Amino acid sequence: MSLLRNVRNWLDQRLGWDDLIAPLRKKTVPLHKLSYWYFLGGITLFLFVIQVLTGILLLLYYRPGANEAFESVQYIMTRVQFGWLIRSIHSWSANLMIFTAFAHMFSVLFLKAYRKPRELTWVSGMILLFLVMGFGFSGYLLPWNTLAFFATKVGTEITGQVPAIGKPVMIFLRGGEEVTGATLTRFFGFHVAVLPGLATVLILLHVLLVQRLGMSIPPKLEVQWTANPSAKREMKFFPNFLLRELMAWYVALGVLGALAAVFPWNLGVKADPFGSAPAGIKPEWYFLFMFQTLKLIPPKVWFIDGEIVGVLAFGLIGLLWLLLPFFESDEPSSMKRWITGLSVFALAYVAGMSVYGYLAK
Amino acid sequence: MAILRNKFRPLSAAHVGLAGFVVLAVCLGYGQTTNSCLDCHSALPDPLGVSQETFSQDIHAQKGLTCASCHGGDPTSDDPDKAMSPKAGWKGKIDRKHIPQLCGSCHSDPAYIRQFNPSLRTDQLDQYRTSVHGKRFAAGDTKVAVCTDCHSVHDLRVPSDSRSTVNPANVANTCARCHSDADYMKGYSIPTDQFAKYSTSVHHEALAVRGDLSAPTCSTCHGNHGAAPPGVDKVQNVCSNCHAFQAQMYEKSSHKKAFDAASLPGCVVCHSNHGIRHPTDAMLGTGPDAVCMRCHTPGDACDQARAGLQTSLSQLDAAIKSADQILGVAESSGMEVSEARLGQDQARDSLTKARVTIHSFRTDLVDQDIQAGLKIAAKNLQAGKQAMVERNYRRAGLGISLIAIGIVLAGLWLYTKKIES
């Protein structure tokens, strides 16, 4: 213990360690029956760190290129010591991260944690959610298997439906008119350089804002606690909350390990650009609600192409969702109830359409 | 008046000429587009009825030919007497005796056919004359098939059209219209069960069920315009068009000499003809599907060789299935065994090759393929076992990791309780 104390003294003398962690010591977390929702952001962050670490390890062997990508992932899965584990954890962790990011977004929505003064926290979080989906879309192509190839083809085709900018964006994403090795190289670049860079900056901003503004308290509880300050209950962030967060991370690690060992991520069959698309091809589950919606829209809505209407509608909804906190004022209004109703509808829609899309042939 | 006349005069020559040209053009146009035959015949009942819709599907109509091209007459006249006047070359219903010659008048003329389809053959009539149909027809038997019986008439389509009566998918049904009709075939002393047998065959399955248009139908083995049953000594030449390797093996085998000596029809002896079933290893056995024992005596040298071949094939088949089974379990456990799966295809190829080599009737050649297959299957089986060992190792590792995580969790929980108490 004296060694630890010595290290701490050494750091304190040079960096002012005690001053640095003083805010953490003062920081508290509201304690109420919904406190466990606060863990979701931390778990998402933990899974992101897992992604970065396993991603770096995969980079040691992965080779981007239409002729090498599949074989290199196959090599990782079969020849590299614990390669299967690293790749499976990377894939499972990516899916769990997207799930926890969505869950975190809805928990913030239902607990109304996006309200003033936390608008920027919400906006940065929403952009992070879009980036996480971008990670999923770009990373899905990297093993260059049949499903990934055709899912990317369909996905980029949908992007191409956006009026005016759609076609140039599609060509930019694909690196040409078709999905080829050039697309793979681009997606690799987005996946390991562009998106991680943007995500790191935004995560730092997001966490900084959370630390700066503290944890939000649900509105009803806030009113009660303001009226009766003695009813207020809190927990120290350090070490009490952090220890619990650590336990949640350990549970997540156990779940990841179990999934990776019992259900290693399938590699599939190498993509054949001249082959036909597998029947009933579907995107990954997190894009399924949008995919199914686009399928259900009639070919023509009035005189506009149905798919264009769908893509534009999702774009508009995404933008409005990003700006959601700015539609809610401090004053009690019908807008508050409207946003809660919309949130319930959004959750039911996303979940319902995803299940429908999964079951639909 | 003089002024008017003077004005009219320069106009008259040009205008009269122009008017005459227009009238002529309208008349010619009318003549080209009007087909008075169809005006009446589309309203008539069968067998005289031919609708505009039906005839428009006919390849001849699509190429610009009209009723008059075959039947003569004047389709531009609305007067039935003039339209069907012998003076206008009207032939009426074409006598069955004249059909091959009539069709051949165009289809045997390379210069004429070239303008429509340069790659279309022009020897159909010549071939027809060499066929059983053609020979009987020449001898005065008008019951035998002529061009229109197979190709239909008035709605004749190109063979590549799936609705054509001579499209590969429809040929067997077209032949069966006569050849499966026992009453119609009475007097010809040939069976009428060919289509029924063919419908149970592996060839029919490939064509009708799997949609493989390259699979054999009647005309593949018998020819089309020159249709004739292959001679007993020529059967292997017919089968070898597709089954080249089997034929090569058979040509060099001891069975070839023996079958030739006994005037046995090669492939047909073991595989039959129209009702060819999917060959199985049971053909080498002694059960109901056995073929060797129809000729060979139990216990003789050939019977022993047969038994050896069957055992070898069964052995390789079983080895492949064992490897498949363990690889299937490993794969469903999420193990990456695609390389071994690919190897299984090689083992299956060896088995197929061995089954082909059976046609040499040489145990040493078959054994080479069997041994090659067994070696590959053993390697794949080993890969499957290794994958299962790896799977169990992973699960044991997971168990240990989960215990370690559980201990840390318990420690954290206890520590939290301690600092909060």
Q: Which residues contact B134 (CB under 8 A, 6 or more apart)?
A: B100, B127, B128, B226
**Phi, psi at A28, each rounded to 5°:** -125, 160
Mutate to test the interface with A, among B332, B391, B394 (most CBs of A within 10 A): B394
* Biggest CA pair distance of chain B: 134
Q: Do A264 and B402 touch (CB under 8 A)?
A: no
Distance from CA of B338 to the nearest CA of A (A): 9
Closest CA relative to residue B333, chosen from B393, B381, B382, B380: B393
Separation CA A74–CA A183 (nearest Å): 20
Tell me whether B400 touches chain A (CB under 8 Å). no
Residue of A nearest to B340 (CA): A78
Residue of B nearest to A75 (CA): B336
Average pLDDT over residues A347-361: 94
From A240, A247, A266, residue closest to B409, measured CB to CB: A247
From A74, A254, A258, residue closest to B336, measured CB to CB: A74
Per-residue pLDDT tens over the stretch A173-226:
999 999 999 999 999 999 999 999 999 999 999 999 998 898 899 988 988 998
- Residue appearing with tokens 């018998």: B222
Per-residue pLDDT tens over the stretch B19-63:
444 444 444 444 445 678 888 898 888 888 898 888 999 999 999
Cα-trace Rg, chain B: 37
From B336, B401, B415, residue closest to A84, measured CB to CB: B336
Separation CA B115–CA B106 (nearest Å): 11
Separation CA B312–CA B350 (nearest Å): 12
> B416 contacts in A (CB within 8 Å)?
240, 243-244, 247
Q: Using alpha carbons only, give the angle B253, B257, B261 rounded to the nearest 5 degrees.
A: 160
Residues A90 and A55: beta-carbon distance below 8 Å: yes
Per-residue pLDDT tens over the stretch B341-368:
999 999 999 999 999 999 999 999 999 9
CA dihedral for A298, A301, A305, A311, sign (positive or negative)? negative
Separation CA A131–CA B166 (nearest Å): 60
Residue A73: pLDDT above 90? yes
Share of chain B above pLDDT 90, in %: 69
Distance from CA of A257 to the nearest CA of B (A): 7
Q: Do A243 and B412 touch (CB under 8 A)?
A: yes
Separation CA B313–CA B327 (nearest Å): 21
Separation CA B266–CA B239 (nearest Å): 10
Tell me whether B21 touches chain A (CB under 8 Å). no
Residue of B nearest to A77 (CA): B336
Residue of B nearest to A74 (CA): B336
CA B148 distance to own-chain centroid: 21
Separation CA B395–CA B413 (nearest Å): 26
**Which pLDDT belongs to residue B127?**
94
**Which pLDDT belongs to residue B12?**
47
Tell me whether B403 touches chain A (CB under 8 Å). no
Distance from CA of A83 to the nearest CA of B (A): 11
Separation CA B120–CA A261 (nearest Å): 64
From B338, B398, B408, residue closest to A261, measured CB to CB: B398
Q: Which residues contact B66 (CB under 8 A, 6 or more apart)?
A: B35, B37, B75
| DSSP assigned state of B156 | -
Considering only CB atoms, which residues of chain A are within 8 Å of chain B? 74, 77-78, 84-85, 88, 239-240, 243-244, 246-247, 250-251, 253-254, 257-258, 261-267, 269
Reported as half-sphere exposure (CB side, CA atoms, 13 A), residue B63 has a value of: 15
CA A124 distance to own-chain centroid: 12
CATH topology of domain A25-273: Cytochrome Bc1 Complex; Chain C (1.20.810)
Beta strands of B81-206 (E only): which ranges?
Answer: none
- The domain locations on chain A are 25-273
Separation CA A343–CA A109 (nearest Å): 7
A335 falls in which pLDDT band (50, 70, 90)? low
Separation CA B250–CA B360 (nearest Å): 5
Q: Does B14 or A73 have the greater pLDDT score? A: A73
Per-residue pLDDT tens over the stretch B109-146:
999 999 999 999 999 999 999 999 999 999 999 999 99
Share of chain A above pLDDT 70, in %: 98
Q: What is the mean pLDDT of chain B?
A: 88
Mutate to test the interface with A, among B341, B405, B412, B415 (most CBs of A within 10 A): B405
Residues A120 and A131: beta-carbon distance below 8 Å: no
Per-residue pLDDT tens over the stretch B77-112:
888 888 899 888 988 899 999 999 999 999 999 999
Q: Do A261 and B395 touch (CB under 8 A)?
A: yes
Per-residue pLDDT tens over the stretch A238-271:
889 999 999 999 999 999 999 999 999 988 899 9
- Compute the CA torsion angle A166, A144, A84, B408 (nearest 10 deg): 0
Burial of B403 (0-12, 13-18, 19+ CB in 10 A): exposed
From B334, B336, B405, residue closest to A250, measured CB to CB: B405
**Token representation of residue A83:** 């390669």
Q: Which residues contact B411 (CB under 8 A, 6 or more apart)?
A: none
Q: Using alpha carbons only, give the angle B239, B241, B245 rounded to the nearest 5 degrees.
A: 80
A333 falls in which pLDDT band (50, 70, 90)? low
**Token representation of residue B189:** 């002393």
Chain B window 323-362: which residues touch A at a Cβ cutoff of 8 Å?
334-336, 338-339
What ipTM was reported for this prediction? 0.83
Q: Does A150 or A18 have the greater pLDDT score? A: A150
CB pairs under 8 A between A and B: 57
**Token representation of residue B203:** 């060839």
Distance from CA of A192 to the nearest CA of B (A): 25
pTM (global) more than 0.80: no
From B334, B406, B415, residue closest to A263, measured CB to CB: B334
Distance from CA of B394 to the nearest CA of A (A): 6
Distance from CA of A182 to the nearest CA of B (A): 26
Q: Do B401 and A267 touch (CB under 8 A)?
A: no
- Residue appearing with tokens 């798919």: A307
**Token representation of residue B420:** 């909060």
> B395 contacts in A (CB within 8 Å)?
261-262
**Token representation of residue A120:** 């920027």
Q: Does A169 or A328 have the greater pLDDT score? A: A169
Mutate to test the interface with A, among B327, B331, B336, B417 (most CBs of A within 10 A): B336
**Token representation of residue B82:** 């003039």
Closest CA relative to residue A110, chosen from A324, A354, A333: A324
Per-residue pLDDT tens over the stretch A31-67:
999 999 999 999 999 999 999 999 999 999 999 999 9
Roughly how many angstroms between the first and final C-alpha of chain B, as a whole number? 133
Tell me whether B405 touches chain A (CB under 8 Å). yes
- Compute the CA torsion angle A248, A250, A256, A261 (nearest 10 deg): -150
Beta strands of A71-201 (E only): which ranges?
Answer: none
Roughly how many angstroms between the first and final C-alpha of chain A, as a whole number? 62
- Residue appearing with tokens 């309780």: B417
Residue B14: pLDDT above 70? no
